[in-house]
Amino acid sequence: MLTDLTEEKPQEINKVHQTPHQFFVFIEVFGCEGGIQSYVKDIFQAYTELNAGYKTDVFVLRDSPDCANPFVSQSVKFHYFKNKSQQIGRMAMAGALLKFLLQKRPQRVFCGHIKLAILIQTLCQPLGIPYTVLTYGKEVWEPLKNSERRALAAASEIWTISRYSRDRACAANGIDPDKVKMLPCAIDGDKFTPGEKLPELVEKYGLTDAQVLMTVARLWSGDIYKGVDVTIRALPQIAQAFPEVKYLVIGRGDDQPRLAQLAKDLGVSDRVVFAGFVPTEDLIAHYRLADAYIMPSQEGFGIVYLEAMACGIPVLSGDADGSADPLQDGKLGWRVPHRDADAVAAACIEILQKNDQRCDGKWLREQAIAHFGTAAFKQQLAVLVKTS
């Protein structure tokens, strides 16, 4: 069943049709937290600030009107389709979307997930309405179903977050690279800021006088690519150069027992602190505990690197993934082979020696915000929306 936040009066129809119209279609935006959801919220925050004169309808499959939504305005209307039966919800959204497409004939439809691309192609292509598919990372890195590949091929544009995601998606699914446009993740420099280490957190985690390495990651056994185990393997070498080093791991998951046993086997269990889950609002204070943010990973982009850099913390990433973009190909941080503990150890020792410009917190923050701050993100989005 279609749920609107506002009712459209009959006398307003002509006025709406005189205004450029765009549709967005997403699986989920407000119902849970995650990288895709955060990225979508950044898009909407910037989009609503563009003042481009658009009227926008947003269709969301799994959210409900009860979700906290800061983006409601006269120009942006949300339609929700959450249903106990996903099939019924999907059918309701498809019916409502077709009705709106026929009535409003939008300039463009933005498809927020590959799992919706077939539906969007089916509805838009016969009507001659162009559509753009937004991609985030892993969901398009492997060969897709033929129907999904055709939906991507028929899209007028594909947006993605990094060169790495573009290249993997194109290689796996025969996509024309010229069709793919970049819209990297953004960092809120007003929210993520440098600051002193909070004494209560230093005491809580036993970090007094320690050089602190930190990682924020899910600790799932099926998702070990974050490289927490590699960093633990690097600790014995790092400790030889910095005897007071400790490793603060923020996150939870079923892989923690294995990681704890690994630290014990290597004789560094006293150096590894598992902080567990930390709410988003408390993350900034935890970033400030770190002397270096270490995540030799395989990322589509890696928003956590930007969060750390905005807090003035030097960073280490893997050298064959999407982190090349936030780290500006190594200009803003250390990039090493993601499963090489020796390389991680050598880079961590360099970072803790603090003899490199990439350890200058003020400069690092300035660079990160200049390239990936909300103002830069808004400018990039404006160009993409205008040229789409």
Judge if 143 and 217 occupy the same domain.
no
CB 121 within 8 A of CB 144: no
Q: How many domains, the chain?
A: 2
351, part of any domain = yes
Please tell me the pTM assigned to this model.
Answer: 0.90
Q: What is the pLDDT of residue 17?
A: 45
Phi, psi of 169 (to 5 degrees): -65, -40
DSSP state of 251: B
Judge if 113 and 205 occupy the same domain.
no
For the chain, the straight-line distance linking the first and the last C-alpha, in angstroms and rounded, comes to 31
DSSP string, 8-33: --GGGHHHHHTS-EEEEEES-SSSS-
Q: What is the pLDDT of residue 225?
A: 84
Judge if 245 and 348 occupy the same domain.
yes
Judge if 155 and 227 occupy the same domain.
no
- What whole-number distance in Å separates Cα of residue 249 and Cα of residue 218? 10
Judge if 123 and 217 occupy the same domain.
no
360, part of any domain = yes
- What whole-number distance in Å separates Cα of residue 39 and Cα of residue 51? 20
User: For the chain, what is the radius of gyration of the CA atoms?
Assistant: 23
Parent domain of 168: 3-186+373-387
Per-residue model confidence as pLDDT tens digits over 113-150: 999 999 999 999 999 999 999 999 889 999 999 999 99
Per-residue model confidence as pLDDT tens digits over 201-237: 999 999 999 999 999 999 999 877 899 999 999 999 9
336, part of any domain = yes
Per-residue model confidence as pLDDT tens digits over 2-29: 444 444 444 433 343 456 799 999 999 9
Residue 66: which CATH number?
3.40.50.2000
Tokens matching residue 183: 């819209």
53, part of any domain = yes
Amino acid at 136: Y
- What whole-number distance in Å separates Cα of residue 264 and Cα of residue 262? 5
Sign of CA dihedral 140, 295, 363, 192: positive
Phi, psi of 198 (to 5 degrees): -70, 125
Per-residue model confidence as pLDDT tens digits over 293-342: 999 999 999 999 999 999 999 999 999 999 999 999 999 999 999 999 99
- What whole-number distance in Å separates Cα of residue 95 and Cα of residue 91? 6
